[in-house]
Copies of this chain bind each other. A is one copy, B any other.
Amino acid sequence: MREVFQAELKQVGEELVEIATLVHKALTEARQAFLEADLETAQEVIAGDARIDFMQNELDERSIDILALQSPVASDLRMIVGALRMSSSLERMGDLARHLAQDARRRYPEPVLPQQLEETFRRMFDLDLQIIQGVIQILETRDMSVADDIYTQKGEVNALHQEVFNALGSDSWDSPVSTAVDVTLSARYLERIGDHGVSVARKVAYLVTGEWTPSATMDRPTGHGHISAN
């Protein structure tokens, strides 16, 4: 019985890794679609999101079955509850990657971004991809030394997010309002992906160390509003 249970817990962990890997793939493709105005890749991301949703449902149902049949306690119980929460964050990251692909599809054949912001967004995408890679590593190894990298990367995402607002508020901004709307929301999607990544990392850290890192500002959205009124 105990062996079956351990195998089940292991499988839950493996499925979290599998979902996180799909999210990484989705964001890699969304990056391509978004930055290169690549319609075909955008369609793949949009169609592929259903698979992430499906896997999350499967994982959640399996976790509830484990709770019902095995009645885990202590750290095993927290691991299962943690998995339910992490799968929800990962699923949401997939949604946000889909939104970015939808932006690309809607503007096609035009790019979403004005040229002046391409580099800033490229770096946000790359940092979010590093964050997800770190999350996968943490889920696989429970080696929490990666967590600090993730928190640092999220700090960089926040700084770039601020840069986007600065560009929107600068006198040199000369793109139409529709572009400002797209830029505002897609920057927020990228920021939220990072937030969810940090949230997953902190949940694993809690499972491993039993200590909650009270970085209250870390996985909270920074909100917006860094354009001074003009």
Contact = CB atoms under 8 A, between A and B. Distances in A.
Contact of A85 (B71, B88, B223, B227): B88
Task: Please provide the 6 A-B residue pairs with the shortest distance between their CB atoms, ordered closest to farther.
Answer: A71-B71, A178-B227, A106-B225, A68-B73, A184-B184, A181-B184
Contacts of A95: 220-221
A67 interface: yes
Contact of A229 (B78, B84, B107, B168): B107
Interface in A131-173: 165, 168-169, 173
Contact of A88 (B78, B88, B177, B185): B88
A224 interface: yes
Given A99-B221, A221-B99, A228 B81 contact: no
A165 to B, nearest CB: 7
Given A67-B81, A68-B73, 19 more contacts: A64-B78, A67-B77, A68-B74, A88-B88, A99-B221, A102-B223, A103-B223, A103-B225, A165-B181, A168-B178, A169-B181, A173-B177, A177-B180, A180-B180, A181-B184, A181-B227, A182-B224, A184-B184, A188-B188
A178 B78 contact: no
Interface size class of A (residues with CB under 8 A): 35 or more
B185 A177 contact: no
A99 B176 CA distance: 26
A106 B181 CA distance: 19
